[in-house]
Structure 1
Amino acid sequence: MTRWLWPRGLRARLLVAFVLATVLGAAAAAWSSAGSASTALVRSTQQRLTGTIAEQIGTITPQLTYPPDQGALDRLRSAVGVNTLVTYRNLRSVDGTRTDLVTDALRTAVRTRNRLVTQRITAGGRPWLLVGTRVMITEPGGARVPSGIEVYSVRDLTGVEQQVDGLARSAAGTAALALPLAVLLALLAAGSVLRPVRDLRDTARRLAAGDLDARSPPQGADELAELTVTVNEMAESLQTSMAAMRRMQADARRFAADVSHELRTPLSTLTAVVEVLATAADGMEADARESAQLAITETHRLVRLVEDLMEVSRFDAGTARLRMEEVDVAGAVRDCLHARGWLDRVHLVAPEEIFVRLDRRRLDVIVANLVGNALRHGEPPVRVHVSAAREQVRIEVTDSGPGLPEVVLPHVFDRFYKADAARARTPGSGLGLAIALENARLHGGDLTAGNAGGDLTAGNAGGDLTAGNAGGGGARFVLWLPRNLEDL
C-alpha cells in the first residue's frame, strides 16, 4: 500500500522533498517567532514598569512644595517604591540597596533629554532595568520646566528572563522532537531519488574504465528510468563502435605489417640494383647521374620507411621484446655516434663506465633518432650529455637552433608528423621520434621534449603535451632509463 501511495515520478518526489523542506522552514519560522515573542515580552514589561513609575511620579508631584524639602523627597521616593533614589541639589532620599546600579550614562541622559530614560544592564548575573526622569512643573505662564528633582528607580527583570528562557526551551524542545522525523523523511526521500543516480554513476565509471558490457537495469517508469534506458543505448552504441574500431585498427596494423613484409624482398633486390647503379653513376652524363642519385636516395628512404613501419607494427601488436645485456651506456652512445660519422659534429659529455642492463640495439635506435633529428632540424653545436643517478640514467640531447614552436611541441612524438610541410621529402620517415618513445617506454623509462631553458614535456604519442618555452635556445630531448630493470 505504501508503494502505491509513494509518488513514482522524479518530479513528484522532488516536490515531496520540497514540501518537507518547507515544513522544516516553517519550524524555523516558529523558532524565529519564539524569539520575536521573547523580544516583545521584554519590551512590554519594560513599558509596563516605566508606565507605572511615570504614573506614580505624576500622582505625587502636584502635592509637593517647591522648592522641596527632605520630607517632600521622602514622600516622592515612597510613592515610587523600593530601590528608588530621589535627588534635589544636595538633598537625597534613598530606599533599597540597588540604587548604586544607576550609571553615569543614565544620569547624563536624564539631565540632557528632559524626559524619562531607560537602560538595561546585567549585574551580579541578573538583568536590571534602570529608569530615570526629571520632575517637570508648570509655570504660571503654562510652560513646562524642570523642577530640579531627579528620580531614579531600579527594577529586577529576572522573572522576565525566566519567561524568555522558557520560550527558548520550548522552541528547542519542539525542534528536537521534529528533527528525528525530518531526518528520517529526508533520508528516505534522498535514498529514493539518488539510488538510481548512484547506479548510473557506477555504470558510467565501469564504462570509463573500459567495461563496455556495463549496463544499469531501469527501475520504474520515471524520468530516471528513461535516462537509464538512454545510457544503456549509448553504451550499446559505444560498444559496437569500439568493436568496429578495434577491427579496423587490427586490419590496419595487419595490412601495414603484411605490406612491409612483402616489400622486403623486392626492396632487397632494388637495393642491390641501386648499389650497382651508384658505382656506375660517376661515368654517366650529368642529367643521368642526377636521376640515378635521386633514385638511390629515394630507395634508401623507402627501405628505412619499411623498416620503421615493421618496427611500429611490432609495438602495436605487442610483440616487441627486449634483449637484455649489461651495457656501458656512455660507450654505447659513443659507438652510435661513431658508426654514423657524427663524432666530429656532436659534442659528447659522458662519464666512463655507466653499466645498465638494457637492449643495446634499441638504445642505439633512440640515440640515433634523437641526434639525427637535432642535426637535421636544429643548428650546431649539438650536445649529448650522459649522467647517472642511483635510480636512473639520463641522456640529454640539445641543439642550438630556434627550438620547438608551441604548435609543434604537442605533436612532436606523433607518427608521420612533420612540423614543416616543405620537409615532406626529407630523409626522415616521420616515425623516428615515435619509435624512440616506444623503445624508451619498453625499457620502463620515458622520453621528454622541450626547449633549452624551458620546461620539459612528457613524451606522449597521443599528442597531449604541455607546451614548453618555445624559442628558448634550441630543442632539448631527455631520455630517462631505470637502472634496476629486470629481464623482460
Structure 2
Amino acid sequence: MAVIAAGVAAWTAAALAGNALVESTEERLVETTAATIAASAPQIGLPPDQPQLDLMRRLVGPHTLVTFDGRSSAGGEISALVSIGLRAAVTDRQRLMTERVVHHGVPWLVIGTPVMVTTVDGSRSPSGVEVYTAVDLAGVDREVGASMRSAAVVSMISLPVAVVLALLTASSVLRPLRRLGETTRRLAAGDLEARSQPTGDDEIGDLTTSVNEMADAVQRMQADARRFAADVSHELRTPLSTLTAVMEVLRDSAAQTDSEGRESAELAVAETSRLVRLVEDLMEVSRFDAGSAELRREDVDVVEAVRRTLDARGLLDAVRIVAPHRLRARIDRRRVDVIVANLVGNALRHGGTDVEVTLSHRDGVISLEVADRGPGLPADVLPHIFDRFFKADAARARSTGSGLGLALARENARLHGGDIAAGNRTGGGARFVLTLPQDPEDG
C-alpha cells in the first residue's frame, strides 16, 4: 500500500502540475492575443480593404487569419489549423473561442475572436472582422514531459524508501502478531508450554500478556486434574484389589444360590472388573503425563506377538491376519500387546466381525493396519478419535470401554517413536494404521 500510494501520489502530482501548466499557458496566450487584437483594431478602417486586413494579420502574429465579408488574409499554417467548427462557433456566438489541435505531430492552440467596435453611446457590436491566430504549444508539451520525467525519477527514488519504511512499520506491528498467532496455534494443539514474550506497553503487548496468563491458568488446571486422577487411581488400587478378591469369592458362592442372586453377583463382578480396568488405565495415563513411562525393548517376532495377543483374548478366530512368515523388531512386547488389543477390540465392537490385520515393513518401519467393513468413522469424530475419554456415540456411555483405549494406544506408539493414524477405507469401514521403527538403534 505504501508503494502504491507513493507511486500514485507522484504521478498524480505530475499530472496536476502538467495540466496547471497547460491551462496557465493557454490563459496567458489568450489574454496576450486578445490585447494584441484590441490594440490593432483602431489601425484599420471599417469596412477594411485588403491591405488593412494584411496589416492586422502582420500586427497579430505569423500564424494568423483575418476575414471580412468573404475576403481574408492568411499567413503561416493557419489555414490548415482553423477548423470549420471553430469558425462556426465564433460567428454564431460572437465571442472569443479556443481549440487545441495537433498538426503533423505538433500541438497548437487556435484562438478565434470577432473584432468588436464601440459606438458613441458605449455599446459594443461586431464589426464583421474575425481574427484567428495559432500558437505553437510544443514548448509547453516539452515542459510537461520534463515534469513527468521528474515525477518518474522522484518515484524511483521514493519507492525504495517507501518500501523500506513500509516493511519496518509492518514488521514492528506484524512480527508480534505472528509470534502471538504461533503461540495460540501451539496452545490449541496441546502444547501448554508455549508462551510469547510481550513487547511494549501497547494493545498487542497487553494481549500477549493475557494469552500467557490464560495459558498459565490452563496449565495449572491441567496439572491439578492430572494429579487428582493419579492420586485417586493410586488410592483406589488397593481397596479395588481387595474388592476384586471378594467379588471372586461372591461369584463362586453365587453358583449355589438362585438365578436372581447369581445374576446380581455376576453384575457386581463385571462392574468391579470394569472399575479395576478404568483405574489401571488412569494410572497408565498418569505415568505418561509424569514422563515416567519406560520401554523395555526386546527382539520380538511381531507376527507371533500379534497372534499371541489375539489368542490370549479369544479373538484369533475372529480376525483375518495378512502377514509375512516372520517380522522381527525391537519393541516393548507388553505395550504393543496393549496397542493391538485396543485396535482390534475397537474394530470388532464397532465395525462388525469382518476385521483384517495386515502387517508389512518398508525402509525400517513396521506397519500394522487394522481395518473393518463397518460404518466407518464420521467426519466430526475423526479429529477427536484419540482424545481421552472420547466416545463417538453418547449412547455408549455405559459401554465396557473407558474412552482411554485409543488414547493410550497412541501414547504407547509414540513412546516407541511411532504413531497411529485413523481414517476410513475407500470401500467402507474404519482403518487404523500403527507404524513402529523396526530397529530404533539403527535409526
Structure 1 residue 439, shift from structure 2 partner = 1.0
Q: Give the structure-1-normalised TM-score.
A: 0.61
Q: Which residue of 2 aligns with 1:474?
A: 429
Structure 1 counterpart of 2:85, one-letter code = A
Deviation readout 1:105-158 (Å, 9 max, x if unpaired): x5343365455442154877x75324468999xxxxxxx99x9x9976431335
The answer to whether structure 1 residue 81 and structure 2 residue 54 are counterparts is: no
1:358–1:84 CA distance, 2 compared to 1 (3 A): farther
Q: Which residue of 1 aligns with 2:3?
A: none
1:302-313 maps to which residues of 2 (within 5 A)? 302-313=275-286
Deviation readout 1:309-363 (Å, 9 max, x if unpaired): 2211211221111222344444433333333232332233334544443323222
Structure 1 counterpart of 2:224, one-letter code = M
Distance 2:362 2:133 in 1: 89
Q: Which residue of 1 aligns with 2:122?
A: none
Picking from 47, 52, 63, the partner of 1:62 is 47
SS in structure 1 at match of 2:317:
coil
Structure 1 counterpart of 2:406, one-letter code = L
1:219-234 maps to which residues of 2 (within 5 A)? none
Distance 2:15 2:243 in 1: 92
1:152-231 maps to which residues of 2 (within 5 A)? 153-157=133-137, 210=193
Greater Cα offset, 202-211 or 345-354:
202-211
Picking from 249, 268, 284, the partner of 1:273 is 249
The answer to whether structure 1 residue 373 and structure 2 residue 328 are counterparts is: no
1:150–1:313 CA distance, 2 compared to 1 (3 A): same
SS in structure 1 at match of 2:330:
strand
The answer to whether structure 1 residue 298 and structure 2 residue 298 are counterparts is: no
CA-based RMSD of the aligned residues comes to 5.6
Q: Which residue of 2 aligns with 1:128?
A: 108
1:36-115 maps to which residues of 2 (within 5 A)? 37-48=20-31, 51=34, 55=38, 62-64=47-49, 74-75=54-55, 77-84=57-64, 95-96=75-76, 102=80, 107-110=83-86, 113=89, 115=91
Distance 2:245 2:265 in 1: 16
Is the 2:287–2:293 Cα contact (8 Å) retained in structure 1? yes
Structure 1 residue 46, shift from structure 2 partner = 3.9
Distance 1:438 1:268 in 2: 28
Structure 1 residue 374, shift from structure 2 partner = 1.7
Distance 1:408 1:171 in 2: 62
Deviation readout 1:156-193 (Å, 9 max, x if unpaired): 335656887999999999x99xx9xxx9xxx9xx99xx
1:344–1:169 CA distance, 2 compared to 1 (3 A): closer
Structure 2 counterpart of 1:118, one-letter code = E
Structure 1 residue 79, shift from structure 2 partner = 4.3
SS in structure 1 at match of 2:292:
coil
Distance 2:378 2:347 in 1: 15
Distance 1:199 1:403 in 2: 43
Is the 1:200–1:216 Cα contact (8 Å) retained in structure 2? no
Is the 1:83–1:154 Cα contact (8 Å) retained in structure 2? yes
The answer to whether structure 1 residue 318 and structure 2 residue 291 are counterparts is: yes
Structure 1 residue 433, shift from structure 2 partner = 1.2
1:286–1:246 CA distance, 2 compared to 1 (3 A): closer
Q: Which residue of 1 aligns with 2:6?
A: none
SS in structure 1 at match of 2:370:
strand
Distance 1:423 1:246 in 2: 26
Q: Unmatched 5+ residue regions in structure 2? A: 1-10, 92-96, 117-124
Distance 2:221 2:111 in 1: 91
1:334–1:285 CA distance, 2 compared to 1 (3 A): same
Distance 1:327 1:57 in 2: 121
Structure 1 counterpart of 2:136, one-letter code = D
Structure 2 counterpart of 1:64, one-letter code = D
Structure 1 counterpart of 2:63, one-letter code = N
Is the 1:109–1:117 Cα contact (8 Å) retained in structure 2? no
Picking from 324, 327, 344, the partner of 2:317 is 344
Structure 1 counterpart of 2:135, one-letter code = R
The answer to whether structure 1 residue 423 and structure 2 residue 404 are counterparts is: no
Structure 1 residue 436, shift from structure 2 partner = 0.8
Q: Which residue of 2 aligns with 1:119?
A: 100
The answer to whether structure 1 residue 412 and structure 2 residue 388 are counterparts is: no
Q: Unmatched 5+ residue regions in structure 1? A: 1-27, 66-70, 137-143, 219-223, 454-471
1:392–1:424 CA distance, 2 compared to 1 (3 A): same
Count of residue pairs brought into register by the alignment:
405
Distance 2:21 2:318 in 1: 93
Is the 1:374–1:382 Cα contact (8 Å) retained in structure 2? yes
1:109–1:354 CA distance, 2 compared to 1 (3 A): farther
Structure 1 residue 482, shift from structure 2 partner = 4.1
Structure 1 residue 417, shift from structure 2 partner = 3.2
Is the 1:257–1:313 Cα contact (8 Å) retained in structure 2? no
Deviation readout 1:7-49 (Å, 9 max, x if unpaired): xxxxxxxxxxxxxxxxxxxxx9999986675354123124225
Greater Cα offset, 241-250 or 383-392:
241-250
Deviation readout 1:275-333 (Å, 9 max, x if unpaired): xx45x766654334323432443343233223222211211221111222344444433
SS in structure 2 at match of 1:438:
helix
Greater Cα offset, 425-434 or 250-259:
250-259
The answer to whether structure 1 residue 248 and structure 2 residue 224 are counterparts is: yes
Q: Which residue of 1 aligns with 2:374?
A: 401
1:129–1:328 CA distance, 2 compared to 1 (3 A): farther
